[in-house]
């Protein structure tokens, strides 16, 4: 299960790599994010389920204090090294919220280096909001379960019905995954959320109350 990891190194090397990687990745991510917002402003259709070449939207997780995170297609090292989050294509393909279908919107991002967008994933707790922004809608999820350590081979955590989180029926779920402990790729850290509502984007792009 890919989830944005790096391998153990010395503390000083890790710190240097993290700082350098963060600067480069953040620049790349900001540039790509500008392209996405420009597309939203000038093209009626905007990016969506069938147009994923530049990014499909932005993840907002207040508890992680990481601003907005661009979400792109795939969880390969190449994608995640751009300082973004990526949605899974395999071993279980993510269900994108824009489709309206029940399923699991599964995401991965780096815990350290290359922007480290999920560095503070351990700050999330039950009830915390996770908001996904698209051109036309805000999808508001609430965290309901956290798994602070599991095998990197445990792909069940990204199942369409995440039974390891206690769910037994299909629903509209979101799953965030990354590596743990920090600076290792030994295990995976998993956060599950469930959709509580959807809001239409107004002309001023007023964020939902969870982001104000």
Q: How far is CA 176 from its chain centroid?
A: 6
Please give the helix or strand (H or E) that residue 151 lies within, else none: strand 137-151
| Set 5, 36, 179, 195: catalytic member | 179
CA–CA separation, 54 and 14 (whole Å): 30
Look at residue 76 and give its three-state secondary structure.
coil
Query: Is residue 179 annotated as a catalytic residue, yes or no?
Result: yes
* Helix (H), strand (E) at residue 107: strand 103-108
Interatomic CA distance for residues 74 and 52, integer angstroms: 10
Q: Residue 35 has which token pair?
A: 């392209």
Other CB atoms within 10 A of residue 49 CB: 14
Residue 163 DSSP code: G
CA distances 47 to 14, 41, 140, 156, 160, Å, are: 36, 11, 19, 29, 23
CA distance 88 to 82: 16
- β partners of residue 104: 173
Q: Which residues are catalytically annotated?
A: 179
């Amino acid at each position: 299960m890919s989830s944005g990891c790096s391998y153990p190194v010395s503390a000083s090397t890790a710190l240097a790599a993290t700082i350098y990687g963060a600067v480069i990745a953040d620049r790349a991510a900001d540039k790509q994010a500008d392209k996405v917002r420009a597309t939203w402003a000038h093209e009626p259709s905007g990016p969506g389920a069938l147009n994923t070449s530049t990014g499909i939207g932005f993840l907002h997780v207040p508890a992680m204090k990481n601003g907005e995170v661009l979400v792109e297609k795939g969880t390969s090292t190449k994608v995640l090294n751009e300082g973004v989050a990526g949605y899974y294509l395999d071993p279980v393909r993510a269900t994108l919220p824009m489709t309206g279908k029940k399923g699991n919107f599964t995401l991965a991002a780096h815990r350290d280096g290359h922007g480290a967008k999920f560095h503070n994933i351990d700050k999330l707790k039950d009830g915390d909001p996770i908001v996904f922004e698209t051109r036309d809608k805000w999808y508001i999820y609430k965290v309901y379960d956290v798994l602070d350590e599991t095998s990197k081979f445990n792909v069940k955590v990204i199942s369409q019905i995440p039974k390891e989180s206690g769910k037994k029926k299909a629903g509209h779920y979101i799953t965030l995954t990354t590596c743990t402990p920090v600076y290792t790729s030994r295990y995976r850290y998993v956060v599950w959320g469930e959709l509580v509502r959807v809001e239409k984007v107004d002309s001023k792009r007023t964020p939902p109350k969870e982001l104000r």
